[in-house]
C-alpha cells in the first residue's frame, strides 16, 4: 500500500508509520516529495488492514495497492473453476441455464415449471422456499414443504435444483433436499451465513449485493472459500443506481471484469436485474455475449397468477423461445447449449 | 394506486384489472384519456402488493400512491414515540448521545471508554461484541465475553448499553446483558433477525442499510413492530453514493423527512457515515441542528491502537469537546443535554 | 397524473386542485379513500408540469402517469427512425460501427486511424477536435484544424465523420466539415447547445449524461427534435454509480428499454463506459446482442502514445479482431456487418 | 502516484515506465514485492495525467496520490478566501444568505421578493433570468429583461444580486447587470463557460454538479481560477443518489470536507437539494451548524403561483422565521447574522 503523510507530518510521524510496517514484515520505501512524503510498502493486504495506520498521527490516507481477496483470485488459481453437479456443470464450455418460479407455490405449479424447464433444454431448476420480502405482509414462502417439492421435482425430471437459504436454520434444512444453495443479494454480507455456507460442502450460488462493489462481492466469496468450500458461483443480478425505469441496473461489465479477477464462474440474472419481462430476452442474450457462464431466469407456468415477480417471469413458451434464440449467441462465444434443437 | 394500461390495452384487459381490484375490496375509477386508460384505486397497499397486477395483460405499470408502512407511520400514531431505559430516554426533549468504541477489545479499554463517556455527560455506552467484517481475516469481536464486559461497565457507570447483534444466536445471547440491541446496516433486511428483534421485547436501534431507501428502512421497522415491539430507534449512518472521499454520504435530509413520515425517534451516526475523525464534530452539530434525537459516536481511549475504525474514532478529550460544542446547538433546537457543564 | 392530497386536506383544497386542472382542460376524477383523497387527471403532461400543483395547499405529491416526451416517443411514431448519411445508415438492419481516436492529434495519426477503420470494415470515423477535459491542464484538442483533418480523411477514405461539438461556436464551425455532430455526456443538458443542434439540420449523436435518467435523456432528444431536427442518434456510454472498478457502469438494459420507448436509433460506447481496453470487446459483443444499432469504439494507431484515453483505445489489429468476432453475434440478432470478411 | 505493474510484467515494461516518469522529472522508486512490482513516483499530478501511463504494456493501473487541483487548494493558500461585494461578504464571519425566487417573473413579483429578503435581514437577492429546463415546453426565463429587473431591484434595495448564466452569450449580457454570476449544476463541467467566467472578473457562484465528485467540483473551480479569477464561491446543492423521496441528496459532509481541502467559501442550497418546502428550514439549520459560509434559499411572494419550483419555495413569512431560527445556530458556530433582530 501507500501511506500518504500530511504536509505537516514530522519525521517522528513518518518513522512511526515505517516502524509499524516493517515490524509487520512489510518491505517499505519512504519517498520524499516537495510537498509531501509517502511511505510505500509491499506485503499482505490482509495484514495491512488490521494495522489501523489511518489512525496514526500525521497520516493523511492509506491507498491500498494489492487486492484484498486471495482464494478467489485468478492470481492464485489460473484455470477456471468448473462446478459439476449430477452430470451438469457451471463454468465450463456448456452454458448453465437455471430457470423456474420466483417462489414454490404448489406441487402442481412446480412440476409444471420443472417439465417446461427441461423441455426447453435447461438443466437447472430454481424455486424459492424461503422468501425474504421487503414487506412483512407479503407471502413468505412454503419453507420446508417447498424444499421437499423441489427434491421431488428433481427426482422426476433429473434437473439440478437451486434454492435460496436465508439463515443457518434454513441452510441446515436445505442440505437434505437441494443441490445448489443460493445466497441472496440481501445476505451477501451476512457473514455468519457465508461461513455456514462454507462449511456446508454444497455448491453456493452467491448473488451480488444491491450496492456491493466487485471487491466486496469477491470478499464475500472469500468468506465461503476460507471455510474450505471452493464451489462458489457468482451471480450478477443488478445494482442499485439512480435509474428507476428498471428495477435495478444490470452491471454486465462486471462479468468480464470478475472473470479477469477471479477463477470462479459467473452467471447473470436478467429477471431480477430488469424487473421487466420484455427486457429479459435481450439482456440474457447480452449476458451470454459478454461471456457469462450461465443464466438465472424466472419462469412461471402462469405469470399472471404468480405470487411474486409475475411481471418479470417468462411463460414456458417465452422461455423456450429464449433458449432457441440464445443458441447462436452461445455458439458465437464458443459455448454449447445442451438439448436445444440443433 | 393507479394502474396505467398500455395504449393497445383492450376493454377486456381493463375490465380484468378493474375486476381483480374490486374483488379485493378496492374502490376503483376507470379514467379514459385520449392516449391511455388508467384504473385508479384506493385501498390497502399491503393487499395491493400481493395482487401481481403488473403481470396482467395490457398493464404497463402500477404506480403506488399510499405508503407501504403502517405501524411506523405518523398517520397512525401522531405523537412522537419516546423510548425510556434506566432513566435515560431517546426521542424526547433530551438529546441521546451514545458513545464508545467500535469494538470491545478488553476490560481495561472498555472501562476507560465508559468512564470517559460518562464524564463527558453522555448516558449511553456503545461497543461491538460481534463484528460483521468485510474481510474474513479481520478481528471478529469478543462475542459473549464482550457482552459481559458491557454489562459490567453498565453496572459500574450506570450507562445504558447499546450493542450490535448479527443473528438470532447473538441476539439470544445479548438479551441477558444489553439494554438496547443494535441491528447493523448490512442486516437491515435480514428479515429473520428483524422478526427475532420484534419478539425480543428490547428497544432496537435499527441502522439504515447502505443502499436502503427511506421507505425500505421504515418497512424494516415495520417488520419489528409487526411482531409487537414498538420500541424502534432509527439510525441514519450514511448511504452509498458515487462520492468516495467520505466513507459514505450522510443523508441528513432523511432526519426531518423520516420524522415527518414516522413517529419513531431518529438518531445519527456521523462516525461511520464520514469515516473521518475531522468530520465527526461538524456533522454531529449538523445532525442536531437538523432535529435528530441523538447521536451515535465512536470514541476510543487510544484511537491509534483501536482494532477497528481508529481513523474515525474520537479520543476522550475530543469527545468531551464535542459535547460542549453541541450544547448551544441543542438549545437552539429546543433540546437539552444532560450533565454538560452549564 | 394523480394528485395525492394530505390526510388533513380540506374540501376547499381538493376543489382548488380540481378547478385548476379542469380549467386547463384536464379530465379529472376525485377519488375519496378512507385515509386520503386523490385527484386523478388525464391530459398533456407538458401542460401539467407548468401548473405547480405541488405548491398548492393540501397537496402531498403529484405522481405523473404519462411520459413527458412526445416527438421522441414510439407512441407518436411507431416505425424505427433510420438515419442515412453518404450511403451509410444508423438504425437500420446494418450495424453502424463508429471508430477512431479519442482526439485528432495529427494528420498522420488520423489518416492511419481512418484507413484502419475502413480496412476493418467500419463506415464511420470518429475523432475529437474539441475536448472537454476535467483538468484545465490537459490537452484541449486541435479545434478547427482537427475538423479540417477529419474532412480530409473522409474525402480520402469515404468514411462518414462523427465529431463532438461543445458549444454554439464549435457547432457552427463543425457544420462545414463534419457529417454527424456529437453532443457529449457533459453537455446532454446544455439546452442552448441542444437547440442549436436542432437548428443545424445535421444528424446528432446524443450521448447520455453521466447521471441522466432514461427520461431526461429522451427529453434532451426532445429538445433537439422540437427545433425540427428528427435525426437524433442516442448513445449509451455508461452512468455513474458507486462501482469504481470500471470508469462508469454501462447500462445495457437501457438499449432495449429505450428502443421500446422511442423510435430513435441507439448505439453504445463500450470504450468510455468501461475505461479498460480488455472490456471493450466483451461489452461490444453484449451491446450488439442486446439489440444496439451500432457501436462507438476508440481506436488509436498507437494507444501507448495517445494524448487521451490510451488505456481504453484498441489498436488497429484489436479493432479488426473485434469486427470479425462481432459478425456472428450481429447475425444472431438479424443484423448485417458491412465489408467484414464472410 | 503509484504505477502498479501486472504480475506478468517484464523488466523492460518496468524500465519503460520508470524511464518515462524520470524523463518528465518525477522522483521514482521501484519496489519489488513477491507478487508484483510497483513504481512509486512523486511529482506534479497535472503532468502525470498527460503521460497516458495506463496504456503502457505491463501496467495494471495507476493510483494517483496527490490532489489534481492546485489554485483551489488550501495547501497553496492557507487562509480562507473572503469575497466582498458592495459591503456584503461571503466566506467571512458573517453568514451570507442569498434568497429570492427561482425565476424572475415580473417587476412586481421581483420587487416584492427583494423587499421581503431585505426585511428579513438577508443581503443577497437571487433570481433566474435564464432557466435551463429539463423540458423544452417549460418556461425558459425572461432573459435580458429579467436581468434589468434584478439590477433595478438591487438599486432600490441595496441587495447584492446573484443570477445564473448558461452560456457565453448570457454571461456577456449579465456582466452589466449582476453582481455575482451563478453557474448551475448542469453547467459545472461546461468548460467553455468556466473559462469565460474566469475572464469575467466577477465573483462566481459555482454549483456542484448533480453527480460531480468533490474532486471534479474543485477542478471546475480550478478552471475558473486558472483564468485569473480567484473569486469563486462553491455551492453544495445535492447530489443524485438512489433515494427519490427527496429531489436530490444534500451532501452536507462536503461542506467541512471541502473547507479542509480548499480556501474557497462554501454555501448550501437546501431548496434545490430537498425539493420540499418542509425540509428547507431543518437543512438550512444543519448547513450552518456544519460550518457553511452561507445559504441559497428559494423564496417567492406567492409560492402557489410560482412559475417554477413553487413546492420548494418559502413564503416571505416562512423565510423571516428561518432567519430568526438561524441566529442561535450561527452564533453557536461563531458566525453573525446581519440585521436579524437581536
B322 contacts chain D (CB < 8 A): no
B56 contacts chain A (CB < 8 A): yes
CA dist B265 and B300 (Å) reads 26
For residue C294, give the nearest of C257, C335, C254 by alpha carbon.
C335
In sequence order, the 6+-apart residues with CB closer than 8 A to the CB of C306 are C101, C102, C103, C105, C300, C313, D52, D55
Res B113 pLDDT > 90: yes
Higher pLDDT, C66 or C176: C176
The predicted structure's pLDDT at residue B139: 78
Q: Quickly count: other Cβ atoms within 10 Å of residue D230's Cβ.
A: 17
Q: Which residues of chain A make contact with D34, given a CB cutoff of 8 A? A: 42
| Cα separation of the two ends of chain D | 53
Higher pLDDT, C61 or B50: C61
Pairing of β A180-183 and β A160-165 = parallel
In sequence order, the 6+-apart residues with CB closer than 8 A to the CB of C83 are C89, C90, C91, C203, C231, C233, C265
Q: What is the pLDDT of residues D62-114, one digit of tens each?
A: 887 777 888 999 988 999 999 999 999 999 999 999 999 999 999 999 999 99
The predicted structure's pLDDT at residue B40: 82
The predicted structure's pLDDT at residue C291: 98
Res B95 pLDDT > 50: yes
The predicted structure's pLDDT at residue B340: 55
A256 contacts chain C (CB < 8 A): yes
Which residue in the block uniquely carries the three cell numbers 449511553?
Answer: B124
B193 contacts chain D (CB < 8 A): no
Q: What is the pLDDT of residues D263-312, one digit of tens each?
A: 999 999 999 999 999 999 999 999 999 999 999 999 999 998 888 888 89
Q: What is the pLDDT of residues C13-67, one digit of tens each?
A: 999 999 988 888 888 888 887 777 888 887 777 777 777 888 888 998 888 777 7
Q: List, by residue range, all CATH 3.20.20.70 domains of chain B.
A: 83-332
Q: Which residues of chain C make contact with B38, given a CB cutoff of 8 A? A: 40, 42, 65
The predicted structure's pLDDT at residue D47: 76
Q: How far off is chain A from D43, nearest CA to CA, in Å?
A: 7
Q: Which residues of chain D make contact with A244, given a CB cutoff of 8 A? A: 244
Residues B159 and B134 sit within 8 Å (Cβ to Cβ): no
The predicted structure's pLDDT at residue A50: 74
A172-179: long-range pairs with CB below 8 Å, 24+: A173/A143, A173/A144, A173/A147, A174/A129, A174/A147, A175/A200, A175/A202, A176/A147, A176/A151, A177/A147, A177/A148, A177/A150, A177/A151, A178/A147, A178/A150, A178/A151, A178/A202, A179/A85, A179/A86, A179/A154, A179/A203
- Cα dihedral A141/A143/A149/A151 (nearest 10): 130
D310 contacts chain C (CB < 8 A): yes
Angle at B214 between CA B125 and CA C211, to 5 degrees: 120
- D65 CB-contact burial (10 Å; exposed 0-12 / middle 13-18 / buried 19+): buried
Q: Give the pLDDT band (50/70/90) at residue A79.
A: very high
The predicted structure's pLDDT at residue D176: 96
Which residue in the block uniquely carries the three cell numbers 416505425?
Answer: C79
Out of B253, B288, B328, closest to residue D331 by CB: B328
CATH architecture of D83-332: Alpha-Beta Barrel (3.20)
Beta-carbon separation of D240 and A242 below 8 A = yes
Q: How far off is chain B from D157, nearest CA to CA, in Å?
A: 30
Mean pLDDT of chain D: 92
Q: Which residues of chain D make contact with B331, given a CB cutoff of 8 A? A: 328
Angle at C233 between CA C227 and CA C239, to 5 degrees: 110
Beta-carbon separation of D242 and B244 below 8 A = no
D43 contacts chain C (CB < 8 A): no
Q: Which residues of chain C make contact with D55, given a CB cutoff of 8 A? A: 303-304, 306, 310-311, 313
Query: What number is the average pLDDT over the span C3-7?
Result: 87
Res C275 pLDDT > 80: yes
Res C138 pLDDT > 50: yes
Beta-carbon separation of B27 and C27 below 8 A = no
Beta-carbon separation of C249 and A256 below 8 A = no
In which element (H, E) is residue A234 found?
strand A232-236
Q: Which residues of chain A make contact with B223, given a CB cutoff of 8 A? A: 136
Q: Which residues of chain D make contact with C304, given a CB cutoff of 8 A? A: 52, 55-57
Q: Three-class SS of residue D234?
A: strand
Q: What is the pLDDT of residues D148-170, one digit of tens each?
A: 999 999 999 999 999 999 999 99
Q: Percent of chain D having pLDDT more than 70?
A: 98
Query: What number is the average pLDDT over the span A312-319?
Result: 96
Query: What number is the average pLDDT over the span B201-228?
Result: 96
Pick the residue from chain D with its C-alpha nearest to C309: D52
For testing contact with chain C, the best of A208, A289, A335 (most C CBs within 10 A): A289
Calculate Rg over the CA atoms of chain D: 23
Res B130 pLDDT > 60: yes
Res A339 pLDDT > 70: no
Beta-carbon separation of D33 and A43 below 8 A = yes
Q: List, by residue range, all CATH 3.30.70.1140 domains of chain D.
A: 2-63
Mean pLDDT of chain C: 92
Burial C274-296 (b: 16+ CB within 10 A, else e): bbbbebbbbbbbbbbbbbbbbbb
Q: What is the ipTM of this complex?
A: 0.92
Res D341 pLDDT > 60: no
Q: What are the phi and psi torsion angles at A216 (to 5°)?
A: -65, -35
Res B177 pLDDT > 80: yes
Beta-carbon separation of B36 and C244 below 8 A = no
Beta-carbon separation of C46 and D192 below 8 A = no
**Per the structure block, which three cell numbers stand in for A46?**
490482509
Chains near D, with 3+ CB pairs < 8 A? A, B, C
Beta-carbon separation of D307 and C139 below 8 A = no
CA dist A303 and C108 (Å) reads 59
The predicted structure's pLDDT at residue C342: 39
Three-state SS annotation for chain B: CEEEECCCCCHHHHHHHHHHHHHCCCEEEEEECCCCEEEEEECCHHHHCCCCHHHCCCEEEEECCCCCCCCCECCCCCCCCCEEECCEEECCCECEEEEECCECCCHHHHHHHHHHHHHHCCCEEECECCCCCCCCCCCCCCCHHHHHHHHHHHHHHCCEEEEEECCHHHHHHHCCCCCEEEECHHHCCCHHHHHHHHHHCCCEEEECCCCCCHHHHHHHHHHHHCCCCCCEEEEECCECCCCCCCCCECCCCHHHHHHHHECCCEEECHHHHHCCHHHHHHHHHHHHHCCCCEEEEEECCCHHHCCCCHHHCECHHHHHHHHHHHHHHHHHCCCECCCCCC
Q: How far off is chain B from C23, nearest CA to CA, in Å?
A: 17
Q: Percent of chain D having pLDDT more than 90?
A: 73
Q: What is the pLDDT of residues C146-169, one digit of tens each?
A: 999 999 999 999 999 999 999 999
Chains near B, with 3+ CB pairs < 8 A? A, C, D
Out of B46, B132, B210, closest to residue A135 by CB: B46
Which residue in the block uniquely carries the three cell numbers 495529427?
Answer: C106
Q: Which residues of chain C make contact with A211, given a CB cutoff of 8 A? A: 242
Q: Give the pLDDT band (50/70/90) at residue D26.
A: confident
Beta-carbon separation of C35 and B75 below 8 A = yes
Q: How far off is chain D from A330, nearest CA to CA, in Å?
A: 30
CATH architecture of A2-63: 2-Layer Sandwich (3.30)
Mean pLDDT of chain A: 92
Of A316-330, B116-130, C3-17, C237-251, least confident by mean pLDDT is C3-17
Beta-carbon separation of C7 and B42 below 8 A = no
Higher pLDDT, C79 or D136: C79
Beta-carbon separation of C68 and D132 below 8 A = no
Q: Give the pLDDT band (50/70/90) at residue B163.
A: very high
Q: What is the pLDDT of residues D95-104, one digit of tens each?
A: 999 999 999 9
Q: How far off is chain B from A304, nearest CA to CA, in Å?
A: 5
Chains near C, with 3+ CB pairs < 8 A? A, B, D
Q: Give the pLDDT band (50/70/90) at residue B125.
A: very high
Out of D256, D279, D332, closest to residue B253 by CB: D279
In which element (H, E) is residue A2 found?
strand A2-5
CA dist B133 and B152 (Å) reads 25
DSSP C315: P
CA dist A47 and C10 (Å) reads 64
Q: Give the pLDDT band (50/70/90) at residue D339.
A: low
B242 contacts chain D (CB < 8 A): yes
Query: What number is the average pLDDT over the span A26-43?
Result: 80
Query: What number is the average pLDDT over the span B216-239?
Result: 96
Q: Percent of chain C having pLDDT more than 70?
A: 98
D63 contacts chain A (CB < 8 A): yes
Q: Which residues of chain B make contact with A137, given a CB cutoff of 8 A? A: 46, 49-50, 226
Q: How far off is chain D from C249, nearest CA to CA, in Å?
A: 14
Residues across chain D: 342
Q: Give the pLDDT band (50/70/90) at residue B339.
A: low
Q: Quickly count: other Cβ atoms within 10 Å of residue D161's Cβ.
A: 27
Q: Give the pLDDT band (50/70/90) at residue A340.
A: low
Q: What is the pLDDT of residues A273-292, one digit of tens each?
A: 999 999 999 999 999 999 99
The answer to whether the Cα torsion of D6, D7, D12, D14 is positive or negative is: positive
A19 contacts chain B (CB < 8 A): no
Burial C75-114 (b: 16+ CB within 10 A, else e): beeeeebebebeebbbbbebbbbbbbbbbbbeeebbbbbb
Query: What number is the average pLDDT over the span A141-160?
Result: 97
C34 contacts chain A (CB < 8 A): no
Residues across chain C: 342
D172 contacts chain B (CB < 8 A): no
- Cα atoms in the 13 Å half-sphere on the side-chain side of B127: 40
Res D340 pLDDT > 60: no
Res A341 pLDDT > 50: no
Res C171 pLDDT > 60: yes
pTM for this prediction = 0.93
A256 contacts chain B (CB < 8 A): no
Distances (CA, A) of D81 to A185, D36, D208, D265: 47, 45, 18, 6
Higher pLDDT, A129 or A25: A129
Which residue in the block uniquely carries the three cell numbers 472469500?
Answer: A222
Amino acid at each position: 500500500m501507500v501511506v500518504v503523510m500530511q504536509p505537516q507530518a514530522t519525521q517522528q510521524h513518518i518513522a512511526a508509520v515505517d516502524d509499524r510496517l516493517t515490524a509487520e514484515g512489510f518491505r517499505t520505501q519512504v519517498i520524499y516529495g516537495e510537498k509531501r512524503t509517502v511511505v510505500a510498502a509491499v506485503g499482505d493486504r490482509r495484514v495491512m488492514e488490521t494495522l489501523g495506520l489511518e489512525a496514526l498521527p500525521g497520516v493523511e490516507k492509506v491507498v491500498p495497492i494489492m487486492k484484498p481477496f486471495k482464494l478467489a483470485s485468478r492470481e492464485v488459481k489460473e484455470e477456471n473453476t468448473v462446478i459439476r453437479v449430477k452430470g451438469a456443470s457451471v463454468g465450463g464450455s456448456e452454458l448453465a441455464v437455471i430457470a423456474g418460479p420466483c417462489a414454490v407455490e404448489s406441487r402442481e405449479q412446480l412440476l409444471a415449471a420443472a417439465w417446461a424447464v427441461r423441455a426447453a433444454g435447461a438443466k437447472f431448476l430454481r424455486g424459492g422456499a424461503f422468501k425474504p420480502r421487503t414487506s412483512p405482509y407479503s407471502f413468505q414462502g412454503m419453507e420446508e414443504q417447498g424444499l421437499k417439492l423441489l427434491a421431488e421435482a428433481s427426482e422426476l425430471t433429473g434437473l439440478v435444483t437451486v434454492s435460496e437459504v436465508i439463515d443457518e436454520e434454513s441452510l441446515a434444512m436445505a442440505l437434505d433436499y437441494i443441490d445448489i444453495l443460493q445466497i441472496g443479494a440481501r445476505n451477501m454480507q451476512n457473514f455468519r451465513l457465508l461461513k455456514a455456507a462454507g462449511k456446508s460442502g454444497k455448491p453456493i450460488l452467491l448473488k451480488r449485493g444491491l450496492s456491493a462493489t466487485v471487491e466486496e462481492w469477491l470478499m464475500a466469496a472469500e468468506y465461503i472459500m476460507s471455510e474450505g468450500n471452493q464451489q462458489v458461483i457468482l451471480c450478477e443480478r443488478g445494482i442499485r443506481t439512480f435509474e428507476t425505469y428498471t428495477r435495478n441496473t444490470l452491471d454486465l461489465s462486471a462479468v468480464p471484469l470478475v472473470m479477469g479477477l477471479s477463477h470462479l464462474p459467473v452467471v447473470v440474472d436478467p429477471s431480477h436485474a430488469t424487473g421487466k419481462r420484455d427486457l429479459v430476452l435481450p439482456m440474457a442474450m447480452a449476458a451470454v455475449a459478454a461471456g457469462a457462464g450461465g443464466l438465472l431466469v424466472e419462469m412461471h407456468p402462469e405469470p399472471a397468477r404468480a405470487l411474486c415477480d409475475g411481471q418479470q417471469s417468462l411463460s414456458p413458451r417465452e422461455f423456450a423461445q429464449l433458449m432457441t434464440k440464445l443458441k447462436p449467441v452461445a455458439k458465437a462465444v464458443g459455448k454449447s447449449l445442451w438439448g436445444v434443437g440443433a
